[in-house]
Amino acid sequence: MSDGRRECHCVLDHDYGDRDRMDTFNLRTIVHIAQYGFSVVLVQPDERAPGWVYSIGLWHSFGAPELAMFGGDVYEMEETLNALGRRAAGGTAPQDGEVDPEVARGHPAAFRGVEPTWYRSAFPGAVSFYRRPPLPYLQVVWPDGGDLFPWQPGTTLDFRRTQPWLWLPPREHPEGVWAHRLRPAT
């Protein structure tokens, strides 16, 4: 589905010599991308951290940034990314710094560019699919009950820790569950 407008190094556009050894995850991802243009990966919460979801295929199929959302119910976040993916397929992809007033079940969401050093720990399936840059990711950030985003004055410390701040380099990321769960290996 790649249209040649951008550089894509994914396993669909390039033969890396390992197609006969792809695991079930990669094969399923390829089927989803062939059918829908993208796939959404759910990372279930565990005792260490809340869950998150991320897309694979938006860049390949539509030239749109990949998306990720953290800290909420994984099925609700999946629903949000699927809706955003369908919009990207229709030509309306979110941009870094944009705020969409009704993206997440009638609530606003902000879009922040993810620092690439987080990719391997936060989006391993995308790294496996795309293999190497370029690969833009946007974090879909949800607000508190007063529609304030984590970086805005007036939010509580607890709320500021509900989602990682992946637009920051790892050395600048606040300590907490996300920094420990996602900290890239050095």
Q: In this predicted model, what pLDDT tens digit does every residue of 94-123 receive, in sequence order?
A: 999 999 998 877 889 999 999 999 999 999
Question: Is 9 within a domain?
Answer: no
What per-residue confidence (pLDDT) applies to 132?
Answer: 83
What per-residue confidence (pLDDT) applies to 5?
Answer: 56
Amino acid at 160: R
CB-facing half-sphere around the CA of 119: CA atoms within 13 A: 23
- How many domains would you assign to the chain? 1
The 3-state DSSP composition of the chain as helix, strand, coil percent (nearest 5) reads 35, 20, 50
Q: How far is CA 104 from CA 69, 162, 169, in A?
A: 11, 16, 26
168 neighbors 97 (Cβ within 8 angstroms): no
- 11 has pLDDT over 90: no
Question: Is 5 within a domain?
Answer: no
pTM of this structure = 0.92
Please report which helix (H) or strand (E) contains residue 145, including its range.
none
Mean pLDDT of 43-47: 93
Question: Is 10 within a domain?
Answer: no
| Domain residue limits at 32 | 19-182
Mean pLDDT of the chain: 91
Residue 159 in tokens: 């709320």
Question: Is 4 within a domain?
Answer: no
Question: Is 134 within a domain?
Answer: yes
Question: Is 115 within a domain?
Answer: yes
Question: Is 88 within a domain?
Answer: yes
Rg from Cα positions in the chain: 16
- 52 has pLDDT over 60: yes
> For residue range 63-100, what is the model confidence (pLDDT) as tens digits?
999 999 999 999 999 999 999 999 999 999 999 999 99
Find where tokens 């795309």 sit: 130
Mean pLDDT of 45-56: 94
Question: Is 14 within a domain?
Answer: no
